[in-house]
Amino acid sequence: MEISANLVKELREKTGAGMMDCKKALAETSGDFEKAIEYLRKKGIASASKKAGRATKEGSVSAYIHGEGKVGVLVEINCETDFVARTEQFKNFVKDVSMHIAAAMPLYVQSSEVPAEVIAKEKEIAVAQMAASGKPAAVLEKIAEGKIKKYFEDTCLMNQTFVKDPEKTIEQLQKETIATLGENISIRRFVRFALGEGMKETAEAAH
């Protein structure tokens, strides 16, 4: 069924949940507003969104090595208290995120980190690819926006589909973990190393 934008907006304001979570909740409950609220609460998404502004000064910096030393990941994930940082659930979340980074190779934590010049270049490429199609400028603009969205889904950790569960994104996994632990959690930064990466370029630059 068609879910109206106004209903999604109203549910967002009521619960503090994200737009995609609200759309999914309404779709799953056939547009029943009260049932959608209940759906979000059961998933822990509504309460997780309300915790999102709380300070995260504890947590851990963890290392993950994959493929017999072929790929390594360092990730810093923060929470509110040292108590939660020591829980099995938090450690499992850190491990899942680290494994995902190793497999999915994100470049940024979230879309706000993507430099403006990178977005502009991606948009320029998208428009150039469609220029010969004869479509109106407004249509080309919409297509370019779709390409940028896809770029974020490919390169930004929070937008990526979780490798262990394609039904959810890393952002949704984070919200579920926040709901379970009752504390705000934030993925602050990461770095991914792959054996031999960049060696060819370095060797060429030396000659």
- The predicted structure's pLDDT at residue 182: 83
CATH at residue 125: 1.10.286
- The predicted structure's pLDDT at residue 49: 60
Domain assignment present for residue 205? The answer is no
Phi, psi (5° rounding) for residue 189? -165, 165
- The predicted structure's pLDDT at residue 149: 92
Domain that holds residue 39: 5-51
- The predicted structure's pLDDT at residue 90: 95
Tell me: do 99 and 119 sit in the same domain. Answer: no
- The predicted structure's pLDDT at residue 40: 80
Using DSSP, state whether 67 is helix, strand or coil: coil
Please count the CA atoms within 13 angstroms of the CA of 16 that sit on its side-chain side.
Answer: 12
Query: What global pTM score does this model have?
Result: 0.69
- The predicted structure's pLDDT at residue 206: 46
- The predicted structure's pLDDT at residue 207: 46
Q: Give residue for tokens 């879910």.
A: 3
Domain count, the chain: 3
Tell me: do 150 and 63 sit in the same domain. Answer: no
Tell me: do 132 and 142 sit in the same domain. Answer: yes
Q: pLDDT tens track of the chain, all 207 residues?
A: 678 888 888 887 676 677 788 888 899 888 888 888 888 877 766 556 666 666 678 899 999 998 888 999 999 999 988 999 999 999 999 999 999 999 999 999 999 999 999 999 988 888 787 777 777 777 878 888 888 999 999 999 999 999 999 989 999 999 889 888 888 899 999 999 998 876 654 444 444
Domain assignment present for residue 207? The answer is no
Tell me: do 135 and 35 sit in the same domain. Answer: no
Tell me: do 139 and 194 sit in the same domain. Answer: no
How far apart CA 69 and CA 21 sit, in angstroms, is: 37
How far is residue 107 from each of residues 66, 116, 158, 173, 178, measured CA to CA in Å?
18, 15, 11, 19, 24
Phi, psi (5° rounding) for residue 132? -80, -5
Q: What angle do CA 30, 35, 38 make, to 5 degrees?
A: 140
Tell me: do 94 and 39 sit in the same domain. Answer: no
